[in-house]
Amino acid sequence: MNEPQGNPRPPSVPSIATSAPSDPIERSAPATHDSPSPADPQRHGSPAPPVSPTGLLIIDKQPGFTSMDVCAIIRARLRRAGAPKGVKVGHGGTLDPLATGVLVVLIGKATRLCDQVMATRKTYATTIDLSRLSTTDDEAGVCTPIDPTLRVSREDIERVLPQFIGTIDQRPPAYSAINVGGRRSYELAREGTPIELAPRKVEIHVIRVETFDWPKLSIVVECGKGVYIRSLARDLGAALGVGGMLTSLRRTASGVFSIGRAVTLDQLPDRLTQAELLPIPATP
């Protein structure tokens, strides 16, 4: 878009310029008194409003970031590339700061798919320590070892797993983002307020033992919306009569989006444009 060259010189006043204008367009343009039309913002030099990008990013979230941290970083990179200040960025299912793996980030009109993406089946690879308990059901909390004489076998584990498959009642961790009386549960728990969240109906489709070497149990879990893998670790340990706390969690799939399609934030450019986004799928 051409920038305005200033007000045209009135033809009755002789020019006192000692040299011709350097812009060839300005040299050849006839003088005119016509005013630009107010309906044409480009003739006034007003830039067209930026177009909001739309699409998806499949992020391999690294530990230490919250899901909203990732969204904020992506929003900043989009804005640096010229996206509107209010560009919408959301995600299709929270991952804890200690967790890694697939985080579906939705941008622009794709944010309308948030509920659909959240409702899809998720797959997790996780490791559970059966020799310890934790106030947060993972390594972020205060950990307490159990009686060192307690042991279970793989056969014991395989025997109790079926009770956690299907539609079950699951009590969320006290350290979760669930709203309790207008405040987050984890805020109350950090203050020492006793929290006992009500169980919720969730669906777990598959639990498969990958490896077991006391006290470390590695499993793969396929589940629906709202399942807390930390709670599963805690409850599995309780059913076995031992400890149970999460030591690692990696989401390997969210609906049709697998870890093989994911990229880390470090692999994305500092200025994100429409060209880097995936199109909105017909079925998330």
Q: How far apart are CA 176 and CA 276, in angstroms?
A: 33
User: In the prediction, which pLDDT does 259 show?
Assistant: 98
Check if the beta carbon of residue 220 is closer than 8 Å to that of residue 208: yes
**β-strand partners of 144:** 133
Q: What is the pTM of this model?
A: 0.80
User: In the prediction, which pLDDT does 10 show?
Assistant: 39
205: which residues sit within 8 A by CB, 6+ positions away? 121, 165, 222, 223, 224
- 122-253: CATH topology: Pseudouridine synthase (3.30.2350)
The residues annotated with a catalytic role in the active site are 96
77: which residues sit within 8 A by CB, 6+ positions away? 268, 269, 270, 271, 272
Residues of each domain in the chain carrying CATH 3.30.2350.10: 55-119+257-276, 122-253
User: In the prediction, which pLDDT does 2 show?
Assistant: 41
User: In the prediction, which pLDDT does 46 show?
Assistant: 61
User: In the prediction, which pLDDT does 176 show?
Assistant: 79
Listed residue (49, 104, 48, 109) closest to 74, CA to CA:
104
CA distances (Å), origin 183, targets 85, 178, 180: 29, 8, 5
Per-residue model confidence as pLDDT tens for the chain (284 residues): 443 344 444 344 333 333 333 333 333 333 444 444 445 545 556 666 678 899 999 999 999 999 999 999 999 999 999 999 999 999 999 998 899 999 999 999 999 999 999 999 999 999 999 999 999 999 999 999 999 999 999 999 999 999 999 999 999 988 777 888 888 887 888 888 777 888 999 999 999 999 999 999 999 999 999 999 999 999 999 999 999 999 999 999 999 999 999 999 999 999 999 999 999 988 77
- 55-119+257-276: CATH topology: Pseudouridine synthase (3.30.2350)
